[in-house]
Structure 1
Amino acid sequence: MTTASTTNGKGRKAPTIFDVAERAGVSHQTVSRVINGDPTVRDHFRSRVTTAIGELGYRPRAAARALAGGRSKALGLVTAGDALYGPSSTAIGFERAARTAGYHVLLSTLPDDPRPADLSGALVSLLAQDVAAVVLVAADNRVLDALASLTVPVTVPVVVSNAMQGDAIPAASRAEQLLPSVAAVAIDQVVGTTLAMRHLFDRGHRRIVHISGPSVSQESEVRRTTYTRLMVEAGLDPVVLDGDWTPASGFAAGRMIDATAVDAVFCGNDQMALGVLHAFADDGLRVPDDIAVLGFDDIPEAAHFTPPLSTVRQDFMAMGERVLASVRSLVEGRPLDDTLIQPQLVVRRSA
């Protein structure tokens, strides 16, 4: 039996799915299942296949044809973690903008605690479907660590959203070789935190507690660090309580706060602020008369909390549109707009 072969740009025979199968020590059917994102493939087989793909530089033929000729109108979207408001809204904004521009979006989701093999497998599956670029909605550092540990060459542009500019670009030389075209899109967390803290300072608050999101989140860490710096610069003692973005963690933190020693709470997101308001209401505290509360994100429900929540608005729909603009700039070879998106302070009754 004879099979058709392809060659790469240097005249050498391009690796085939059978070459990958031989290198990985599996059947070509298993390779195909890995490429197509079949969740039933065992982890050790998936790892062997993605490693072999990386070593051989294998590209599915549909993607190879797109590189050699016409431009694909498919875009890959990889999301990770829980369905948090920010990342989910960014993904929705990106999909809507992409659809308006004539693209269709293929979605791949990672587990809550993603490993490098999970991200490699998602990228292999998307590349097999002839995507022109991949967007990674990175809610935490584990996803960026996986990006820096890739074993699969990604020869289409990658845009990382919800990550700090510069930190999305892997430092390792091997990762740079596997990811030749990467950009990041982010909202300015330093500016957002400064807006929140300056507002509280201007209202006369000095004993301010910060309820932080999880340490795996880049955005959470920037807000925590900026809060701490601003408190120290003002000659005040920073106090940080740990949360995990959920109202339950905000409620637990709120029960730990002594309102006789604290006059304001800056919450890392609006959901935790909701839990704090619940805890204070249970304790008979009046917000903002006894203690002020300020959130972050401006979720749609924030205006209807009791009392309505003062917060920092992040325009996630604009973030999604900027992500698409970055994708198109990389694909079409145009200059990138790498400026940070600016948040806005929204003042309501809680602060």
Structure 2
Amino acid sequence: MSDVARLAGVSAQTVSRVSNGSAGVIDATRQQVIAAMNELGYRPNSAARALKRGSFRTIGVILFTLSTTGNVRTLEAIAARAAEEDYAITLIPVAAPTQAGVRGAFSRLNELAVDGIIVIMEVHLLDAATVSLPPGVHAVVVDSDASDGFSVIDTDQADGARKAVEHLLDLGHSTVWHVAGPSASFASERRVNAWRSVLSSRGCAEPALLRGDWSADSGYLAGLTLAASDCTAVFVANDQMALGVLRAFHEKGIRVPEDVSIVGFDDIPDSTSFSPPLTTVHQDFAEVGRRCVDKVLKQMRENSTEPGLDLVPTRLVVRGSTAMHTEFAV
């Protein structure tokens, strides 16, 4: 910094102000300092600056996998919002979907320079009694059954599932089958419970529950089972599995929506290109990511914890995969 100051003909304090983007430096002087920095190849030492101000301007993100659409889109939104606030993110993968894996990821926080943490935890593994944060680190959890000790941001899974099932029943179907996600998934179980609740409230019979693993292949296997049943309407827990169901129906000569109506969940970008275009529940992953960053930054700035649940609304997007049930229309 002293070398830059000498070359630019200014004080070291002025160089510091320019480096930190502070106000109070006239533009001509700022450009003079920047030119000196470029000539000398000067780069501010972020580690030293972090130690001086007691903040690393980095948010840690713990997550299991990048193989699911929701995780990728949520992470993308977290990174974008963090950048807007001049923060970087550090990914901390969980080695295995076990309590030990979760504890290991949290333990790594002690070795990393992060000011806050966002946990994308879609399975029932987060127990405040078994994990602990380093002193001064604040946390926000996404899509989890976290205890009251954490601040949780989530899509309103139950309301989205209700909208899907009610839409199909309102089209005149006597009941709705369901292809669920893994039983360990918090989001999956919220959707299953909502499906059952709507059927019960409408006095509809509850068909056998089918399960997949979020993949199109597992949806295809479930679709083969559905093709051999008396199903006329099915709510599928995500769009990827719905794609597999559509393939199975096509191979078995079952028309969608003439013979069976299908509703998915997520509203992935490709869902408009399914054949037919998929009716689905839209999740606002971008809003979830933004709220996560805003919440953890608020906790950091106010030195608070703010435990509780913040739900992001869903909306039903009706496309070509659902239609009035033929018998009902007659």
Question: Would the TM-score normalized by the shorter structure come out above 0.5?
Answer: yes
Q: Count the aligned residue pairs.
A: 271
The alignment status of 1:71 with 2:39, answered yes or no, reads no
Q: For 1:281, which of 228, 250, 257 is the aligned residue?
A: 250
Q: Which residue of 2 aligns with 1:121?
A: 104
Q: Is the 8 A contact 1:106 1:126 kept in 2?
A: no
* Cα offset, 1:123, TM superposition: 2.6
Distance 1:338 1:274 in 2: 32
Specify whether residues 91 and 154 from structure 1 end up closer, same or farther in structure 2 by C-alpha distance, changes over 3 A only. Answer: farther
Q: Any idea what SS the aligned residue of 1:102 has?
A: coil
* Cα offset, 1:318, TM superposition: 1.0
Q: Is the 8 A contact 2:73 2:285 kept in 1?
A: yes
Q: Which moved more, 1:299-308 or 1:236-245?
A: 236-245
Q: How does 1:120-139 map to 2 (within 5 A)?
A: 120-139=103-122
Q: Which residue of 2 aligns with 1:99?
A: 83
Letter in 2 for 1:341: V
The alignment status of 1:141 with 2:109, answered yes or no, reads no
Letter in 2 for 1:161: V
* Cα offset, 1:121, TM superposition: 2.9
Distance 1:199 1:274 in 2: 19
Task: Give deviations 1:109-148, integer Å, cap 9, x for gaps.
Answer: 11342332x3333233333222111111112113x14x54
Q: Any idea what SS the aligned residue of 1:184 has?
A: strand
Determine which structure has greater relative contact order: mean sequence separation of CA pairs < 8 Å that are 6+ residues apart, divided by chain length: 2
Q: Is the 8 A contact 2:227 2:249 kept in 1?
A: no
Q: Which residue of 1 aligns with 2:194?
A: 226
Q: Is the 8 A contact 1:97 1:320 kept in 2?
A: yes
Q: Any idea what SS the aligned residue of 1:257 has?
A: helix
Q: Is the 8 A contact 1:123 1:154 kept in 2?
A: no
Q: Which residue of 2 aligns with 1:85?
A: 69
Q: Which has the larger radius of gyration?
A: 2
Q: Is the 8 A contact 1:87 1:162 kept in 2?
A: no
Task: Give deviations 1:282-311, integer Å, cap 9, x for gaps.
Answer: 001110001101100001110000100000
Distance 2:63 2:169 in 1: 37
Unaligned segments of structure 1, at least 5 residues = 1-61, 171-175, 177-181
Q: Any idea what SS the aligned residue of 1:296 has?
A: strand
Q: For 1:159, which of 105, 120, 140 is the aligned residue?
A: 140
Q: Any idea what SS the aligned residue of 2:141 has?
A: strand
Q: How does 1:238-249 map to 2 (within 5 A)?
A: 238-239=206-207, 240-249=209-218
Q: Which moved more, 1:152-161 or 1:184-193?
A: 152-161
* Cα offset, 1:88, TM superposition: 1.7
Q: Is the 8 A contact 1:214 1:244 kept in 2?
A: yes
Q: How does 1:2-81 map to 2 (within 5 A)?
A: 70-81=54-65
The alignment status of 1:299 with 2:283, answered yes or no, reads no
Distance 1:222 1:196 in 2: 13
Q: Any idea what SS the aligned residue of 2:256 has?
A: coil
Q: For 1:346, which of 304, 311, 317 is the aligned residue?
A: 317
Q: Any idea what SS the aligned residue of 1:205 has?
A: coil
Letter in 2 for 1:284: G
* Cα offset, 1:186, TM superposition: 0.7
Q: Any idea what SS the aligned residue of 2:117 has?
A: strand
* Cα offset, 1:160, TM superposition: 0.4
Q: Is the 8 A contact 1:80 1:114 kept in 2?
A: no
Q: How does 1:164-203 map to 2 (within 5 A)?
A: 167-169=145-147, 182-203=150-171
Q: Any idea what SS the aligned residue of 1:158 has?
A: strand
* Cα offset, 1:212, TM superposition: 0.4
Q: How does 1:302-341 map to 2 (within 5 A)?
A: 302-333=271-302, 338-341=309-312
Letter in 2 for 1:340: L
Task: Give deviations 1:172-217, integer Å, cap 9, x for gaps.
Answer: xxxx6xxxxx311011111101111111111111231000000111
Q: Is the 8 A contact 1:254 1:276 kept in 2?
A: yes
Unaligned segments of structure 2, at least 5 residues = 1-46, 323-330
Q: State, as a whole percentage, how many aligned pairs show the same letter.
A: 34
RMSD, matched Cα: 2.2
Q: Which residue of 2 aligns with 1:27?
A: none
Letter in 2 for 1:281: H
Q: Is the 8 A contact 1:159 1:327 kept in 2?
A: yes
Q: Any idea what SS the aligned residue of 2:173 has?
A: coil
